[in-house]
Amino acid sequence: MEGVKFYSPEDLATGHSLKKAEEIIDSYESKVIEDINIALELFNCTLYLDNKVYLQDWSEEYKYHLNEKCKQIKKDLSYYFSEINEINIEENVNEINWKYIEDFLTLFCRYKLYNRIGEQVFDRLLKKNFSLQQVCHYQHLVDYYETVVKNALINDPINAELLFNQFVLEQGNAIIKRIHFPKSLTKLEVNLLIDSYIGTEKANLNYLRLIVNTQNTKEFSVSDELKWKAKKRTEEKEKIYFKDNSGMAFGYEIAFQKDLSEPVITKLEGMESSITFDKTWLEDNLDYATILQNFVWVFNFIDSNGRIAFVNHPSDISAFEQVLGINSKSDYPKGVAFQSKEILANLMTTAYYMFLKNQNVNLEKVIEWFFTVYLNQEFKVEHYYATLPSEGTSYREKCRDILPEMEYSLSQYKSYVEYGFINHELLEISSSGLLYEQIPSLIVKKYVYPNEVLTEAFYYLFSDQSGLGYIDNTEKASRTFFELMVKNNIIYSEFHRYQQLKIDHLRELGYIKVDNQGLIRWTNEKRIKVLYELYYNEVISYYRMHSQIRDEIDLMNQEELIYFDSTLFSKPEQDYFNYYLNNSRFQNGPKLRNKYAHGTLGSRPNIDEATHQQNYLVILKLFLLFVLKVNEDFCLYDMIKQIEQFDEQV
């Protein structure tokens, strides 16, 4: 059956389906509807006009004409559904095309068929014609047929997935219907359902991982025992799954070689990359200041805008990964791009740490020097203390020692920004924990963030799901509209009509214009530059941008498109630290700070020294990133003061 189906106003097939709906509505004459699928198709036709989805050439008079026709259709639909009862409903439902099932349930509620259809009949429909998930999208059905729905829910372990879909699963940008559950469902029944799911052969590995990483809330919680059971079950299934399936391999090789023509040479072969560093340069520059600068200019830990380069960004995760992946709302999103960056960052930290060790340079001493000597010499910061783990101690001890030192170093910086000096007496008294988002910056307008109003523009300009990168000319076709514009001269007429509707909206928003020849151009290239940075990096360091771009950002702030914030770490960087060190926001991270502080790693005798060494170097990487961010903050603040002094003199 090729009947009209309304999905959403933004659906790519809207133009074609709307034309068919128009023909059906325009030619409709009032009559007794005798076929359930015809009734549901007519209902879908009316949805286009209810949502004000019109073809561009429709006049106001024609719209009025079609709306009047829709009123008659709705009257006839009302009569049709008034004739449905317990005797004929099963026969009718058996004939429904699968794509109209939820439309039928919508009208079932609208016309209050539950007042005429008893529990026994609905129970048979639920077992034969409807899925439990489809029914649970409708609060009225769940409430009225509560016993039927509850029994169906708890009698099949696979239904535990519905609970996680509603309360735990991260839905991303998808528009997902809410799932409703019987009010009489108890916490004990929920736990029994989850327990039976863990034990069933049908248990999905992704959902088992979801159970392990569930962050409990008032609305939904999983006991520690169930998380433990899910963890053991996950390990069993992974062992079986990966026995003959090694997955997709990608990795890096780090090497040091003398007398290279460049400081760094990178080669990419398939999924494998090799990075070779100039050993001669590194050996000739072992002063502490250059060692720290190498993490910026050689290893690229910080990008040109002062942002940590290894954090995850939503734009890094492809649509393919979003479709295949199952993530909790409390998960740090780890796509392939992030995992690749994570491997690279950890490898470079380890490689340079070992290289320096062979040169009799202790990287921990370099960090100590930064706080105790450099900040005082360069910026007159007094009494900044840092004592990192010394040689001769085990990596287990190093892990337990370095984490409190890093926290106190962060607290000292917070104190300096707030008071203009480090108030050690107050820090000794304070018992409150340190949150990375609470560490302030010396700079008032440090970071630029997008307001929600820009979401639509981001989608049309930069998303590969907008459909605006694809045109019939395959030589020009690109992933996104932005790429299409940058690489080609594009004529308005090259787009299909359904695409032109979106192009017109971008014109209304003021981002593009169409000249007399039909050529599409940017209205304001500076604004597009700002939007590009905000979409792909989520944040901009205001004073690292050119003055003309800063002027544009100020204008966008006046228009309430963006806002400023003043913290040491940007929001993506805060998430990055929280992911690694604690479970305040994310449940799927290493939780290194929590595990060593609470003894679950530092006191367990069965954790080998190699694991502690790996953890220590990750923590050291984070400490180094903190050092680089502090230095960035001081240098930027110093630069701003010099500019202000120069402006005053002029």
Task: Give the relative orientation of helices 101-110 and 36-50 as an angle to the nearest 10 degrees.
Answer: 80
Confidence (pLDDT) at 319:
62
CB atoms within 10 A of CB 289: 14
CA dist., res. 332 & res. 312, Å (int):
8
Mean pLDDT by 10 residues, the chain (650 residues): 78 72 93 93 94 87 95 96 95 93 96 95 95 95 96 95 88 68 94 95 89 86 92 87 58 85 77 84 94 94 95 80 67 85 92 95 96 96 93 90 94 96 92 85 96 94 89 86 93 86 91 94 96 97 95 97 97 96 87 83 72 95 97 95 75
Residue 87, helix vs strand vs coil: coil
Confidence (pLDDT) at 325:
60
Confidence (pLDDT) at 476:
87
Confidence (pLDDT) at 644:
79
Tokens of 441: 């910056």
Confidence (pLDDT) at 379:
96
Confidence (pLDDT) at 515:
94
CA dist., res. 255 & res. 253, Å (int):
7
Which of 493, 495, 498, 464 has its CA nearest to residue 481? Answer: 464
Confidence (pLDDT) at 172:
55
What residue spans define the domains of the chain?
14-197, 285-444+569-641, 447-565
- The torsion angle over the Cα atoms of residues 103, 106, 111 and 114, rounded to 10 degrees, is 120
Confidence (pLDDT) at 466:
86
Compute the 3-state secondary structure of the chain and give helix, strand, coil in percent, each to the nearest 5: 55, 5, 35
Confidence (pLDDT) at 387:
93
Long-range residue pairs from 313-320, CB within 8 A, at least 24 positions apart, any chain: 313/536, 313/537, 313/538, 313/572, 314/538, 315/462, 315/535, 315/536, 318/464, 319/464, 319/465
Tokens of 136: 């649970």
Contact 584, 578 (CB under 8 A): yes
Contact 624, 371 (CB under 8 A): no
Which secondary-structure segment (H or E) carries 434?
A: none
- E strands within 42-189? none
